[in-house]
Chain A
Amino acid sequence: MGTTATMTRPAPGVLNSTPGRFGAYGGRYVPETLMAALLELDAAYAAAQADEAFHTELNGLLKDYVGRPTPLYFAKRLSETLGGAKIYLKREDLLHTGAHKINNALGQAMLARRMGKQRIIAETGAGQHGVATATVCALFGLECVVYMGEEDMRRQELNVFRMRLLGAEVRGVNSGSATLKDAINEAMRDWVTNVRTTFYILGSALGSHPYPTMVRDFHRVISKESKRQILEHEGRLPDAIVACVGGGSNAIGAFYEFIPDANVALIGVEAGGRGTALGEHAARFQKNGGGVPGVLQGTYSYVLQNEAGQVAATHSVSAGLDYASVGPEHAMLHDSGRATYTSATDDEALDAVRVLSRTEGIIPALETAHAIAEAIKMAPKMGKDKIIMVNVSGRGDKDIGIMTREMDLGGAASSR
């Protein structure tokens, strides 16, 4: 499309065209004030990547502090209950702080320290990235400010307390829909204002280059481990990998090492919310009422928006998937057909929470439950010799309040 070319060539006299392109998507669309900081970050990240000592320290902390590697667990009762494909769960929910988010928060905090930045800011939706950031800031003795939509503060109250307990300042944001998008706007305003002293730990594979690449790299460890583990368990690669997609960080980490393996289906699951009309969901790749390519918060990707280019409100029972845009690498994988994107509704996700809890004794986060919901749909249609790997991006403790309100357990014993 016409806009694609718009997004890819530098002005005359500019030496380097922007890196950080995923096909037509990605790039850097930010106020000029941030450019020096983004270039500095780009250089610091490249230097860290080339520095063996950085990797040694990161890997040591991932092992001893974060709890890697995470298990790849065969969900026998879930598989038998569904009566089709074998389902394996990659247990990112077992990591310190309870979600995959800490892989990235730790890596970026180490970069901040290398760059001599003492003040950290972050945005958070479900609160898991905020908690992970507050945690690593406590670990390294860094000042931490987390922006969070007030709507999300209400529905993820437990995580707000955790962040404060860890020493972070949580600043509520009440503009727009008071969710993740608005928290990112406010974090970017802080960064523009305090850019000389502040490091922005962005929590998903979003935003301007180098964030989508850097965040993906820090989560790549998920698929590096799972590839080795599934070969150990089964002696072959899975038929499908399923992960939920908000910004898309756990999904890109779970997919990445399998992208060259054309026989492995990559399936991202977006938030179908409570309907297909614009405003009722966060399914950017939905065919009707979904997103179209545009620029939001520094990157060119699919954006839920109206015909005038105003960004649409979104809805999901899960705060972490409740976002109008999506990481640019997913936009590329979508267009190329290498990955497939589908959605699960609020109700399907809540059902999936119940199913996984009662078949495996694992209470997933509401975000993760969207991926479980897709596995529940797929597995019965597949033969028993097929293998699905689901990325369990986080645990559900943070969502107990929402689940209490949304689910009727009837005080009865388990049906399964």
Chain B
Amino acid sequence: MAIHFSKKPGLVVYFTAGDPDLATTREMALAAIDNGADVIELGVPFSDPLADGPVIQRASERAVARGTRLSDVLGICKEIRTARPEAGIILFSYLNPVVRFGMEAFAKAAKDAGADGVLLTDMIVEEAGEYLRVMHENGLMPVFLAAPTSPDARLKAIAENSQGFVYAISRVGITGTQTELASDAQGLVERIRKFTKLPVALGFGVSTAEHVKAVGEFADAAVVGSAIVALIEKTDAADAPRAVGEFVKSLCGGVLTA
């Protein structure tokens, strides 16, 4: 278990945990891993996902309405870890559920559940002292977001405080699929590389095999989120693991032959 990208680009796949239900999230994650995903981001659903577009908002709303809790997400994290010891797993959350759980208690529980790292959407480096301390004490990798609007001084702090990889946001805006990759994404990845040797994963709007392939030209990994969540939304729960596996395979397929 570790964050390791076995091919170029590697693939990070996001799920809103608990949508359509926890067992299906687990099965879909396993299918994604088996079809080439290097890292699974397990999203903790939150009532107020202000960095997310309509697709992930709807998924969060469904998962919250089903009563999905952070402790439930830690539960399936452990099951996925047990079933796939080599896969990378990142817990992805807004701050409030973690603050309510207790930062220290969360870090211990995340470690016990076999998570490799944590990404908190609304945690910036300036506020992260205590968060980093508990991450380090528990051997968890903190992943910070880097934005096209971040000046170099911020990118440096973000890169120096991230472990595992740096998550570059391809464009300003919220999560969601789009038809073309943002033109300023490559510039951001190049700026991040001045400050770190860590892999750089690019997300937000990466939706197709063509996008993933294009990301591979300049970044180490692609993060696919809304496209997966949208697929889940329109697929029966029973068929979702197969559909996700196939989609993930198609995303990787475009790469392996390259």
Contacts and interface: CB of A to CB of B under 8 A. Distances in A.
Do the two chains bind?
A: yes
Interface of A: 2-3, 5-14, 16-18, 27-37, 175-176, 181, 184-185, 188-189, 192-196, 292-298, 300, 303, 305, 307-311
A311 B97 CA distance: 9
Contacts of B147: 31-33, 35-36
Nearest to A30: B122
Residue from the set A11, A27, A194 with the largest chain B CB neighbour count within 10 Å:
A11
Contact of A175 (B46, B57, B69, B160): B57
Given A14-B125, A311-B48, A31 B145 contact: yes
A2 B126 CA distance: 18
B157 A11 contact: yes
Contacts of A5: 130
B157 A181 contact: no
Given A7-B127, A175-B57, A176-B48, 20 more contacts: A2-B103, A6-B103, A10-B127, A11-B126, A11-B128, A11-B161, A12-B132, A16-B126, A18-B126, A29-B124, A32-B124, A33-B169, A36-B150, A189-B53, A195-B149, A300-B99, A308-B97, A308-B100, A310-B64, A311-B96
A185 B50 contact: yes
A166 to B, nearest CB: 27
A250 B156 CA distance: 40
Nearest to A298: B122
B110 to A, nearest CB: 15
Given A37-B149, A175-B57, A30 B124 contact: yes
Contact of B50 (A6, A32, A189, A293): A189
B119 to A, nearest CB: 11
B130 A7 contact: yes
A33 B126 contact: no
A295 B51 CA distance: 14
Interface residues of B, number: 55
Residue from the set B149, B157, B169 with the largest chain A CB neighbour count within 10 Å:
B149
Contacts of A309: 46, 70, 96-101
Contact of A188 (B50, B69, B96, B102): B50
Contacts of B156: 13
A27 B127 contact: yes
B174 interface: yes
Q: 5 tightest CB-CB pairs across the interface, nearest first?
A: A9-B129, A309-B100, A309-B97, A6-B130, A33-B147
A296 B158 CA distance: 22
B173 interface: yes
B231 interface: no
A193 B172 contact: yes
Given A3-B103, A14-B157, A298-B122, A8 B173 contact: no
Contacts of A13: 156-157, 160-161
A2 B160 CA distance: 25
Nearest to A16: B126
B97 A29 contact: no
A195 B149 CA distance: 9
Contacts of A36: 147, 149-151, 154
A297 B125 contact: no
B128 A10 contact: yes
A27 B70 CA distance: 24
A16 B157 CA distance: 11
A32 B144 contact: yes
A3 B51 contact: no
Given A2-B103, A32-B158, A33-B169, A10 B126 contact: yes
